[in-house]
């Protein structure tokens, strides 16, 4: 059995346990009815004004993955402005923002955090410019 099958098996098994206990199921339904669905949306930034649409989506609770290369092919300065504006926005709403490679940025609402792996400091001597 592959590891992916085992993970799905555990999830299905966990769901069956929840169904067996009706009181847990009711509390889960109550929680899910008060929370709207969260969507993960991919969106290309083609112009600086697209930032306003991204802000609306994040305010609605959605997670946005932005491809910035269409805007970068037109103006690198606009990319800098857009990313700075989105960074300030994410700080204001308590969300999170991070780079995904060279072409993408992810921005989340306040209910979602982006996991970042802490980089280990090198133990050897650091090279100098001299």
Contacts of 59 by beta carbon, 8 Å cutoff, 6+ apart: 93, 109
Could you give the percent of the chain with pLDDT greater than 90? 60
Mean pLDDT of the chain: 79
More confident position, 86 or 3:
86
Q: Could you tell me the pLDDT band of residue 33, with boundaries at 50, 70 and 90?
A: very low
119 Rama class: left (phi>0) / alpha (psi -120 to 50) / beta: beta
47 Rama class: left (phi>0) / alpha (psi -120 to 50) / beta: beta
- For residue range 68-98, what is the model confidence (pLDDT) as tens digits? 999 999 999 999 999 999 999 999 999 999 9
Give, in order, the Cα–Cα distances in Å from 74 to each of 24, 44, 47.
53, 13, 9
Whether 5 shows a pLDDT value over 80: the answer reads no
The CATH superfamily of 40-108 is SepF-like protein (3.30.110.150)
Report the predicted TM-score, pTM, of the whole model to 2 decimal places. Answer: 0.64
What would the two tokens of residue 114 be?
A: 């982006």
């Amino acid at each position: 059995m592959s590891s992916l099958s085992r993970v799905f098996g555990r999830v299905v098994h966990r769901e069956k346990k929840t169904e067996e206990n009706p009181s847990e199921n009711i509390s889960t339904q109550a929680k899910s009815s008060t929370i709207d669905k969260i969507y993960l949306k991919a969106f290309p930034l083609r112009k600086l004004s697209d930032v306003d649409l991204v802000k609306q989506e994040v305010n609605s609770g959605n997670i946005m993955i932005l491809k910035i290369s269409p805007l970068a092919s037109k103006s690198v300065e606009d990319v800098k402005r857009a990313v700075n504006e989105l960074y300030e926005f994410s700080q204001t709403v308590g969300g999170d923002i991070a780079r995904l490679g060279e072409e993408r940025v992810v921005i989340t609402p306040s209910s979602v955090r982006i996991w970042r792996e802490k980089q280990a400091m090198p133990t050897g001597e650091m090279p100098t410019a001299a």
